[in-house]
Structure 1
């Protein structure tokens, strides 16, 4: 039986947020300290090839910028006020359900081909695969962020090896499949954590993991991640309300991962129906083994990913506006 890949908790460490994927394999799990249309409540056993083409060429009215007062963050550092300096260019919005990322119901990822390096089950080939996927994600997300008048910067991607490694957000160890650190805007994708001995030669599985972590980068750039963490910290990180916020954040990243696969499948590049089908059927990344309820049920992890893949609309991934029953 293939062990499920479970996406685990979020924590603030040394001024940064770390978003982690770890492996649940029937035993202990590695855990970091941690309108709109109807949202999905059930998953589909049959994969769908139907996606909605996105249009980012239309114009919208200029949206106002947020003015953020100085406050203490969860890591104890003080942020500058907007009055102390005037930043140039688009700025993140410290908002959740009403973040500009979600507000235009017609905005989705552009449908474009993505040409990928051939996957093979070794570290060099896997890093080449992710490096070839990165410009595809950079391109489509830059267009969405520019259209939404939000900042965009390409993330760094690192491929650590060995049993333990470090990031500005903290240390990681064996069994961590992937994580995102907001402090240095870096995705960490260790080959040894991808569980290729279980999934085998199924690049769609790994592309979906990569797209999920990239979605956390988008959350950070938009201001959603900081707003989420501040709200969770205020509610109590491990309180019922705090854990629900964590589930909303992770399920939104699941949905955004789906939008990428759905937007590029069958567009003349490397993402064919086989790769899409493998991704579609591998999203059982919910909470397992009695751990904290910080990522949602398997059914919701599956259904939100599939919802994003089918709809390809940012607004459809706004878990912050969904009912609690849809993010349980």
Structure 2
């Protein structure tokens, strides 16, 4: 898809690869395998907190929601609140708040700020992808910073890797069948392996942008304390209970909404034209129904909620009934 795509809203494109349902897509919730679950119950989830699962130390991996089965994990990395120090006197240092619907980030009047994304050419070589993602993440950081600062929450920098490590702060990496990209809260890194991304997206700019914006949404959840609060509510050892999968859907659908919030903030400036932003939002509706990422309809509707709502409050997946995040 390119800048010439039809203006939003457009019909959602059909899924490209059906993901074969996996057993336990969310294990151990966002940290290790499979990449989507938030994390096992608090003792297992929070390696930092309980000392069990130290590898996961901060949250498991979160796999991208497109279009393989998205089983990523997004566990809040525990430990120190290491956001950048804010200058000024009399102001409390930024701190993650382990709350969901009541998280300060979801307060009234908070939204990502405008940013002009300057992106290099998108190419197939690893160094070209790394440069493209690095510039995109810098733009995401610039846009999200005002929202996190207004909520007085950390703004730790996220990095991107186009190579797949055998091990990371979140443990063993998922397989290509489990994810296209994933976020590891332990080292605040978005892993977007070159082969996986090109196999899924080719040189479709909208798809690359949608994927990275979704993964950065997990980083925002990590910084705000939302991931930590969600992990604390996990009830089953393998995050495989109906209640745990519902928590995971709320996390993943919020990441879609956060990704679209960024897109609406930057649409029409720099390298992200309005038509390209529209196409990226529409891309959230191409995945198959998933018990951990939600139905195709809801994956798109929550992205639209952020794109049209323009404020973090529009992404409160925690206050709505289960029927709206199925």
Which range, TM-score by smaller chain?
0.7 to 0.9
The 3-state SS of whatever aligns with 1:115 is coil
1:24 shift after superposition? 5.2
Q: Where does residue 20 of structure 1 map in the other structure?
A: 63
2:261 corresponds to which of 251, 259, 262: 259
Specify whether residues 32 and 134 from structure 1 end up closer, same or farther in structure 2 by C-alpha distance, changes over 3 A only.
closer
2:203 corresponds to which of 171, 192, 201: 201
Q: Where does residue 180 of structure 2 map in the other structure?
A: 177
1:234 shift after superposition? 6.5
1:9 corresponds to which of 36, 40, 48: 36
Specify whether residues 33 and 117 from structure 1 end up closer, same or farther in structure 2 by C-alpha distance, changes over 3 A only.
closer
Q: How does 1:200-279 map to 2 (within 5 A)?
A: 200-233=202-235, 237-267=239-269, 269-279=270-280
1:281 shift after superposition? 2.4
1:146 shift after superposition? 0.8
1:107 corresponds to which of 105, 110, 128: 110
The 3-state SS of whatever aligns with 1:94 is coil
1:235 shift after superposition? 9.4
Specify whether residues 313 and 5 from structure 1 end up closer, same or farther in structure 2 by C-alpha distance, changes over 3 A only.
farther
Given the two structures, how large is their TM-score scaled by the length of structure 2? 0.74
1:201 shift after superposition? 2.7
Q: Which structure: larger Rg?
A: 1
Counterpart CA distance in 2 for 1:274 and 1:116 is: 16
Please say if residues 117 and 129 of structure 1, whose CA atoms lie closer than 8 Å, have aligned partners that are also in contact.
Answer: yes
1:303 shift after superposition? 0.9
Query: What is the alpha-carbon root mean square deviation over aligned residues?
Result: 2.9
Given the two structures, how large is their TM-score scaled by the length of structure 1? 0.74
Please say if residues 76 and 228 of structure 2, whose CA atoms lie closer than 8 Å, have aligned partners that are also in contact.
Answer: no
Counterpart CA distance in 1 for 2:324 and 2:303 is: 13
The 3-state SS of whatever aligns with 1:320 is coil
Please say if residues 152 and 221 of structure 1, whose CA atoms lie closer than 8 Å, have aligned partners that are also in contact.
Answer: yes
Please say if residues 121 and 132 of structure 2, whose CA atoms lie closer than 8 Å, have aligned partners that are also in contact.
Answer: yes
The 3-state SS of whatever aligns with 1:319 is coil
The 3-state SS of whatever aligns with 2:96 is coil
Please say if residues 112 and 145 of structure 2, whose CA atoms lie closer than 8 Å, have aligned partners that are also in contact.
Answer: no
Question: Within the alignment, does 1:124 sit opposite 2:127 as a pair?
Answer: yes
Counterpart CA distance in 1 for 2:230 and 2:303 is: 20
1:287 shift after superposition? 5.3
Counterpart CA distance in 2 for 1:240 and 1:165 is: 31
Q: Where does residue 92 of structure 1 map in the other structure?
A: 96
Q: Where does residue 316 of structure 2 map in the other structure?
A: 318
Q: Where does residue 153 of structure 2 map in the other structure?
A: 150
Q: Where does residue 191 of structure 1 map in the other structure?
A: 194
Structure 1: give runs of 5+ residues left out of the alignment: 35-72, 81-87
Report the count of equivalent residues: 270
The 3-state SS of whatever aligns with 1:3 is coil
Counterpart CA distance in 2 for 1:261 and 1:89 is: 29
1:236 shift after superposition? 7.3
